[in-house]
Structure 1
Amino acid sequence: MKSVYARAEHRLRLERLARQAAYSQQRAGARIRWVAAVLAGLVVVGSGILLTTVSSTSQPRPVALSPVSLEPATALPPTPTPTSSASSLPASVPVAAPAFTMSATATRSSVAQKPPQKPPVQAAPNCPAAGTSTLNDDAAGITYSGSWRPNRNRGYGDFHDDVHYTNSNGDSVSYSFTGTGISLFTETFRDEGRMDVYLDGQFQRTVDTTSDTRRVQQIVFKACGLQAGYHNIRAVKRSGDNMLIDRLDVTP
């Protein structure tokens, strides 16, 4: 009887110890889960603070731009055939190959423009003054394309006291002539801009017609020493408020 009672008491003691061990494990697991939850919350809060700080302090990085070389403003159309110029030849006369030198007075040539293909220069590059024909801006044979308008009696000292002008980029003026040289005269002022010049269908240069003070009857393009024959000059407005044409000088 005593041994049965002892076995029962031993079994109860073991069950009590088992329940105590299970309760201790449950409490330890609860503490572990609580600590893990706290740490996860701290990680989330810290990540949010870090992202906010980085977003508020980062600055945009400037982008480096590559320089772009200056090119003509408009594509060159076919060279017009003169209709009423007194110095023009019939259309059947072959076009002479240009051979010339150029100079620009009181202008600044574009530094970004690629150098054009230049034909060979003759032995005597200077433009002779003898026999030069001076054409006013309204002379027969000068063709204006675009929204050009005449401006007369300006009182600034223009040739014949008048000019033709335009305010639209892309407008052009052309003239076909027979001779060995051509000079283009215009005004330089702070409201002028750049123009592209073509000779016999080939781009020659971009000239800058701006200046701090007004200067009239300025040579902005000159070609001389051309092979005697039929030629064409064309100028296209590229920038600025105005582009003016005052006169053309043709060397025979």
Structure 2
Amino acid sequence: MASKPQVSIVIPNYNEEQNIKRGVLDQVASYLSKAKFTYEVIISDDGSSDSSLDLALAFARKHPHFRVLKNPHGGKAAAVYAGIKAAKGDVVLFTDMDQSTPLKEIEKLLPWYDRGYQVVFGSRGKARKNFPWYRQLTSWGFRFVRQIFLLRDVTDTQCGFKSFKTKVAQQIFPKLEIINKAGTTKGWVVSAFDVELLFLAEKFGYKLKEVDVTWRDEDVATNKSKNFFKESTDMLKQILRVKLNDLKGVYN
């Protein structure tokens, strides 16, 4: 790229073969070809065990504004952080490969930076399309517990559509406990790193804005070995750890 992009878009990739084959990267490229901002797209691979890395590399070879990072499998937070570290834009957005929130929704986020905000993130609101009842139930329980302890004014911490001034993200991510304890792992890994991330942004005095975005569960990948019950209980434990860390002064 000849000049510094205005926006860096980080897309974590773990076993996304089925999503890539249905054309999600083509959707991203199509939208960006008409965007009013300059950009780069960083596909940050999380040690995929299917063909998604090869598919991403092949796509990037045909699209000069796309590049791929190869990482050992350490979970979504580690993959996002690798992309954040590599970002060159003034603003960085991370978004899920499945495009459950279409990339065009970034147009709702970017204007807030002109108003002095440093962290602008999407919220799925109540109208979550194609969202199974058991996920709605666990999501409600997660939010209820989380708001008791952390981020009481934030409606949705788990929408995978978050943007930051890049320098801010690069300052916050190294403070995350999940980053500092990350190593190689096995299987599909999610976490409450979004909670810790937003909590630290608020704690360090950055200006946050939550914005409603369109969201519909579009993930067709079946080879991530998801266990929503285990994920939910693990995430609840992590909320308590963030609160405990704060009380112990770990983040000071």
Shorter chain as normaliser: what TM range?
under 0.3
The structure with more helix, counted as a fraction of residues: 2
TM-score where L is the length of structure 2: 0.22
Larger radius of gyration: 1
The structure with more strand, counted as a fraction of residues: 1
